Structure 1
Amino acid sequence: MGFNDHTDEEFNDFLNQLIDMGHLEDAALGITKLVISKGEGLLSEKQRYVFKKEVLEPYTKAACDRCSSSIPWSEMYDAATEHGLCNYCWHVTSKDD
């Protein structure tokens, strides 16, 4: 899944989760709030760079570490900050045998 392959609601929920959990500060926080309210299309080149480097790159994963499937925005926070897996693989690997 590419960074722009999302519904606004799912993506905004993910961004709000990053804010709520205290991961973003300064310019990254302000730019993320702007993206939530106005969308990515209004960002300047510099803002787009900061958003990519300080928000998207550190807090997203393109694919699950186990099955290589795309990770939906609804699962992205846990995958990127906790275990690197889609929800299915996380469930399978965390089950008690």
Structure 2
Amino acid sequence: MKVDPTGFEGYVKELLEFKRLDDSNDMVIGIAKLIATKGIEALTEPQLFAFTKHGILPHLYLGECGRCAHDIPWSEMLVAVEESGNCAYCQHLIDKDD
């Protein structure tokens, strides 16, 4: 999983804002709030591992676009995960063809 700090932090803020993280998991919510306020650099390796394993994977992360197989930018991840499985460009091409 790629972790570009700026994009990843923005994605975590989106997940918190739209309540997409498991509210029953206090650890995940706490780590997400830490990422949102202090940045990914504030995390220890075990915190990052725990958040990735229990907060993001497998249901809130796509490794690649379902159409072109390129990485999906963090800024497009939520839409890709919840709706299309594709990067914004490929989804635009698909929608245009419809």
TM-score (norm 1): 0.79
The CA distance in 2 between the partners of 1:85 and 1:30, in whole Å, is 29
Q: Find the counterpart in structure 1 of residue 40 from structure 2.
A: 40
Q: Per-residue displacement from partner, 1:54-92 (whole Å, max 9, x unpaired)?
A: 223121111100110111111111112221100011111
Q: Is there any run of 5+ residues in structure 2 with no aligned partner, and where? A: none
The Cα shift of 1:96 comes to 5.0
Q: Find the counterpart in structure 2 of residue 52 from structure 1.
A: 52
Q: Find the counterpart in structure 1 of residue 90 from structure 2.
A: 89
* Cα distance change, pair 31–7 in 1 and its aligned pair in 2 (3 A): closer
Q: Is there any run of 5+ residues in structure 1 with no aligned partner, and where? A: none
Structure 2 letter corresponding to 1:20: E
TM-score (norm 2): 0.79
Segment drifting more, 51-60 vs 81-90: 51-60
Confirm or deny: 8 A CA contact 2:12 2:36 kept in the other structure: yes
Q: Per-residue displacement from partner, 1:11-30 (whole Å, max 9, x unpaired)?
A: 22211111111112222111
